[in-house]
Chain A
Amino acid sequence: MQYLPQFELERLTQLLNRWCGAHPEMGVLALVPEAEKAGVEGLQKVCRDLGVPVVGAIFPALIEGGAFRDKGLWLLRFDVMPFAALYADLPLDGDPLQARVDALVADLKPHLPVDADTTLFLLFDSMVPNIGSLLDELYLRLANRVHYMGANAGSESFQPMPCLFDAGRIVGNGVLALLLPRHRGAILDHGYGVPEQMITATSTEGNRIRQIDWRPAFEVYREMARMQYGVAIDRDNFYQYAVHFPFGIVRANGITLVRIPVALEEDGSLFCVGEVPANSVLTLLEAPRVDSRHTLETICAGLTAANGALDGRELLLFYCAGRRLHLGVAAATAELGGLFAHSHIATLAGALSLGEIGSTVEGEYPLFHNATLVASLWSPTAS
């Protein structure tokens, strides 16, 4: 994996040429910060010219070393390009969704190795509203044949933006699927505490909560914020507070799924990052006191359990933009530094994500999260 501080095509070309010399069957995964999205076409052209397979995504920012970067470019090399496919215009539900998942699985299956661990690495456009449902459908078909990890790309402004690309296309409302061979998935954690107050999302549509307890979602949200935390949230300060008071979807194992509200509609419905299933039992998470230490320990322990010691290895990390917003850039950066230090890894590459996919323990049901760190080794058994 190679970070290029400047998105310069000439340097890019030189690097790829050099890699191609050593790895003729190579391919690359490119992580591009939103500020450099204009360079994607050039990148695609260089790769096409060199015959290098390329896929990639545009994120709000990149993670390089122990810091967030708005500029530059990550090129993650595959010595042999694995299966990668870009699917645009995903259907919302019903038979079209089933058919699309069937087609995706049919594409994947011929490339699944018989014995070795394989990770299905999914990069979604964050504007896809039904990622949770898509994961459910995938898990029903592939079950434990693969590990699951992934993140959401897109603009931090949550405005629609084509953010997934291959050598010829750049698309939105889609998913980029890669099969990472000899890979044991990712570890995910957020460390948000769970309050006692429960509410029920009585009307939802994808990632939009229309009603809570049969009342307009925002009305209940601001009432709970005031009752539980003494915070007066109105339409004017909604965007300022919402990131600090996300919803939690309660699970029996005590781990909640975080859903950060990111938009307030005129009718009082709330848009979240990530799908909220109908009838989900929600809790309003109090300006979570993030237990960074626990998070980092959980991640490192999980990775080590799956992959062995991390010392000197390359780590791929997706860090939730909402979490950075909640903690603040300084705390978030400190968290990155903590991970870097705690894990003794050689390289930390990654991106600021708009939602994360993974399991809190290895082999667990794949879930879509917010406000988490999702980490995996890059070429865990190869490098």
Chain B
Amino acid sequence: VNRQHIMAVLYDITMVIGGEVKVKPLLTRTLQRMLYHTSFPAGLALLDLPGDQSAGEVTVRLDAAVGDYELGERVGQQFTLPAALVRGDAALVEDTALLQALPCARKAYGVCLRLPIEGCGVILLLARSAPHTELPLTQIFQPVMANLGKAVMLCRHNEAYAASLTNERDVAREELGESEQRFRLLGSAAPDAIAMLDDRGAVAYWNPAAQRLFGYAPDEILGREAHRLIVPPRFYDAFARGFEQFRSSGSGPMIGHSVEVDGLRKDGSEFPVELSVSAFQFRGHWHAIGIMRDITERHLAEVQLRIAATAFEAQEGIIITDADQTILRVNRAFSDISGYAAEEAVGQTPRLLQSHRHDVAFYQRMWQAILADGFWQGEIWNRRKSGEIYPEWLNVTAVRSEQGDITHYVGTLTDITARKAAEKQIEHLAYYDLLTQLPNRRLLRDRLQQALAGSIRSQRTGALLFIDLDNFKIINDTCGHDVGDQLLVEVARRLGGCVRVGDTVARPGGDEFVIMLDDLSDNPQEAATLAKDIGGKILSALNQPYALAGRVHHSTPSIGIALFANSGDTVDELLKKADIAMYQAKSAGRNTLRFFDPEMQATLATRAVLEAALRLGIVRSQFVLHYQAQVDGHGRILGAEALLRWEHPERGMVSPAQFIPLAEETGLILPIGQWVLEAACALLRDWAADPRTRDLYLAVNVSGRQFRQADFVAQVGLALANGGAPASRLKLELTESVVLDDIEDSIGKMQALKRLGVGFSMDDFGTGYSSLSYLTRLPLDQLKIDQSFVRNLPDNANDAVIVQTIITMARSLGLAVIAEGVETEAQRQFLDRNGCPTCQGYLFSKPVALAQFDQLLRSH
């Protein structure tokens, strides 16, 4: 072994020593390498040998042991060893006795290489016998041992320093731990969600409340960008902008403020969040701490409060009292209604509003209901601050505590003055005539009903007066509705002056008035007398001139009176009786009064039956036309007048005098008249086809209602066209009253028909106005002298003069003339002599069916 080998060994051990920073590994590794190099199987290191004695025993601490299991187990322990073994220079100790002091029973070491560690201890390498080596181990390891001694010192310094650092670190760590613990406890205990974001916006802290609020466990959100998880996506851009500003400056729109934002839960639901953000710098980077609170409930509460506040300031007056009824609060509507300002009402009780219209019992019932049911509502009269008493609709609700005790009363009140007035107005509209302010038909019926019932109870007789103004229609049509209305108002006024207080004057409609005289007398005769007296007063009053619209007008009434007592009549029956009586008065020449006559009633009943039959007759085509010839002075048939006949299957042939007025009155004349026109036109078509009859004309009577129809001209034109009849052979007979009803309309229609070729005859001429002024305007072809003038010819001088006048007039006007009702030769001769050879009457032929008329034609 040469010097280089020694250097290699020393180099190796030195490198090991230099590579360790702690004492125990230093010693252990050094021992390892020394055993490796020397072939000693075991070694130990003792540091800090006490004193400097070289004899006896010293207490040592085993700091390291390698290669001996038992020694290895005792590292760190103290035991005694002979000073001669551990003290002294480097040497190979072969004193077995000394070595037996070592605390290892299993190995009996026979040799020991003692290598003092400079300044601090010793290394003992142990072997049963000295391993072979050519190196002077006691010398060559001296530099290593010196190095080791320094290394031990350095390691100890290092360990002490590390220990102090560790201690400081531990203390700091403990303090930090405690601080962190306090922080975490604070965070854990905080009811609000707390999150910390680093400068990247990533979540650095997330407390349990945040987990509860958003649903994310810490391991799901820590380190992740917060806005990706807890901010609704629509706010990403705004968040990014705000955070970018925050990152660079530590400021931002949300920093230092409490704002309301929308949060996003893990389950995707959104909710309102109150967010308070503060900023702080950590290691040169801005961090943010957000404290968040779910304000869903608060929002709901705010909404509820807003609703409650809005409700409180509603149109209804609201009054809140305590359990002692002391007013705590009122709303504006209450003040508006009551006139009391809030400060005037608060502290008072609702008795402030008492009107004294209700008795004590009323209030007792009200409070009983409130206490029993917790609620009362109803109408109540209260008094405003102004003293005005007004009606209101009041709700009172008792508010109870959880224990069931009444704590407050809440009253809501509505001023129903206007409603009451409106109701009254509605009632008035429903029961009174707007024009005259008299009770209308409905109220009349109600009162009549009551009166009938009362009369049964009282056995006293009353009367119902049905009043119709005789010429109201003329005044209304000629002077206008305004004048008509004024007349009605004046009539109403006058009627009111004719009756007793408590009697009812009503206007059921049109120009009709009804007066109900209740409770006249228990003697029907006396009652009739009283009714007649009143009726007389009415006649007198209404006959007085009327000054209307600057002119004086006259109007008369027809009055029908029906008495009522215990007759069992219904309201309708009684009204009908009075109506019938009124017609009787009309029939009696008007401007008079009549009591109800049972015979008249029977007639009307018959009339009703006839009307029904008439309607059925139309449906069943029971009508036929009869024809009465019209002849010239030579007895030649010029044509015929078509006369309507009703062939009733049971009644036989019904007289036109019976059914024509009824048909006129009911309007049934329209379909009947239309049928007559069509039948006549059909006959004219047939006549036109026969040379014997084609020059004949056919006269058809036209009723007033029919003629007044707006499309009458068209109806005639259509009948002619459908029948294919020559219009020139059709002659329409109109009465004066029909034509004069609306002279302008009549002229227009007649001219239009005239253009079609239709001819006109003025029927019943002489019975009406027979005024030349209109005769000249009408496009007439013929005048027909009424049979009433013909009947007494030639003996009656008056009639003879009239007939002569008519004939002269016709001649002067260029009109043809015909006389009807000619029954005797004397009549015919008179007429012929005076210039009216054309006649119609039984002298020539009574009205006959078509077949007979055909026969008549053939016989001529």
* Residue positions of A touching B, CB distance < 8 A: 136, 139-145, 194, 196-198, 200, 250-255, 278-281, 360-361, 363-365, 367
Contact = CB atoms under 8 A, between A and B. Distances in A.
Given A143-B42, A253-B132, A364-B131, A198 B9 contact: no
Contact of B128 (A142, A197, A252, A363): A363
A360 B41 CA distance: 11
A5 B843 CA distance: 174
Nearest to B137: A252
Contact of A139 (B6, B66, B127): B66
A47 to B, nearest CB: 34
Given A145-B69, A365-B67, A251 B42 contact: no
Interface stretch (B29-37, B86-94, B228-236, B624-632): B29-37
A281 B12 contact: yes
Contact of A250 (B8, B68, B107, B140): B8
Given A200-B8, A252-B137, 15 more contacts: A140-B28, A143-B42, A143-B71, A143-B72, A198-B4, A198-B5, A250-B5, A250-B8, A251-B39, A252-B135, A252-B140, A281-B8, A364-B39, A365-B32, A365-B39
Interface residues of B, number: 39
Nearest to B13: A252
A364 B2 CA distance: 23
A140 B68 CA distance: 9
B773 interface: no
Given A145-B69, A252-B133, A254-B134, A280 B39 contact: no
B1 A254 contact: yes
Given A254-B134, A279-B15, A196 B2 contact: yes
Identify the 7 closest CB pairs spanning chains A and B, nearest first: A281-B8, A252-B37, A145-B69, A143-B69, A252-B9, A279-B15, A253-B39
Given A279-B12, A365-B67, A367-B36, A144 B4 contact: no
Given A198-B8, A200-B11, A280-B12, A360 B66 contact: no
B547 interface: no
A139 B67 contact: yes
B2 A361 contact: no
B68 A251 contact: no
Interface string B610-634: 0000000000000000000000000
Nearest to A282: B8
Nearest to B9: A252
B365 interface: no
B306 to A, nearest CB: 67
B7 interface: yes
A367 B35 CA distance: 11
30 contacts: A139-B32, A140-B72, A141-B72, A143-B67, A143-B69, A143-B71, A143-B72, A144-B69, A144-B106, A194-B1, A196-B4, A251-B9, A251-B36, A251-B37, A252-B38, A252-B140, A253-B37, A253-B132, A253-B135, A254-B133, A254-B134, A254-B135, A281-B7, A281-B11, A360-B39, A361-B39, A363-B128, A365-B41, A365-B67, A367-B36
A144 B41 CA distance: 8
Given A360-B39, A363-B41, A365-B39, A254 B132 contact: yes
Interface in B89-120: 106-107
A367 B42 CA distance: 14
Contacts of A367: 36
A142 B131 contact: no
A88 B128 CA distance: 37
Interface string B121-140: 00000011001111101001
A140 B29 CA distance: 9
Contacts of B12: 279-281
A250 B2 contact: no
Contacts of B132: 253-254
B167 to A, nearest CB: 24
Interface in B18-51: 28, 32, 35-42
B348 to A, nearest CB: 89
Contact of B38 (A143, A194, A197, A253): A253
A148 B764 CA distance: 166
Interface of B: 1-2, 4-9, 11-12, 15, 28, 32, 35-42, 65-69, 71-72, 106-107, 127-128, 131-135, 137, 140
A147 to B, nearest CB: 11
Contacts of A200: 8, 11
B1 to A, nearest CB: 5
A144 B42 CA distance: 8
A196 B8 CA distance: 11
Contacts of B35: 365
A136 B137 CA distance: 22
B7 A143 contact: no
Contacts of B40: 365
Nearest to B18: A279
Contacts of A280: 12
Nearest to B16: A279
Contacts of B28: 140
Nearest to A142: B69
Given A136-B32, A198-B7, A279-B15, A255 B107 contact: no
A284 B451 CA distance: 153
Contacts of B41: 144, 363-365
A194 B5 contact: yes
A140 B8 CA distance: 24
A31 B415 CA distance: 117
A279 B9 CA distance: 11
A250 B9 contact: yes
Q: Which of B1, B5, B11, B35 has the most CB of A within 10 A?
A: B5
A251 B65 CA distance: 21
A281 B12 CA distance: 7
Nearest to B28: A140
Contacts of B106: 144
B4 A140 contact: no
Contacts of B65: 143
Q: Which of A194, A253, A255 has the most CB of B within 10 A?
A: A253
Contact of A365 (B2, B7, B36, B133): B36
Contacts of B15: 278-279
A143 B39 contact: no
Nearest to B71: A143
Contacts of A194: 1, 5
A27 to B, nearest CB: 27
Contact of A253 (B2, B32, B66, B133): B133
Contact of A252 (B2, B5, B127): B5
A353 B264 CA distance: 70
A343 to B, nearest CB: 22
Contacts of A255: 39
A144 B71 CA distance: 10
Q: Which of A252, A363, A365 has the most CB of B within 10 A?
A: A252
B103 to A, nearest CB: 14
B601 to A, nearest CB: 133
A143 B74 CA distance: 13
A193 to B, nearest CB: 12
A179 to B, nearest CB: 15
A200 B11 CA distance: 10
Nearest to A198: B4
B249 to A, nearest CB: 46
Nearest to A112: B69
A197 B2 CA distance: 10
Contact of A143 (B5, B6, B66, B128): B66
A280 B13 CA distance: 10
Contacts of B36: 251, 365, 367
A278 B12 CA distance: 9
Contacts of A141: 72
Nearest to B36: A365
B25 to A, nearest CB: 10
A255 B36 CA distance: 10
Contact of A279 (B11, B127, B128): B11
B158 to A, nearest CB: 21
Nearest to A365: B35
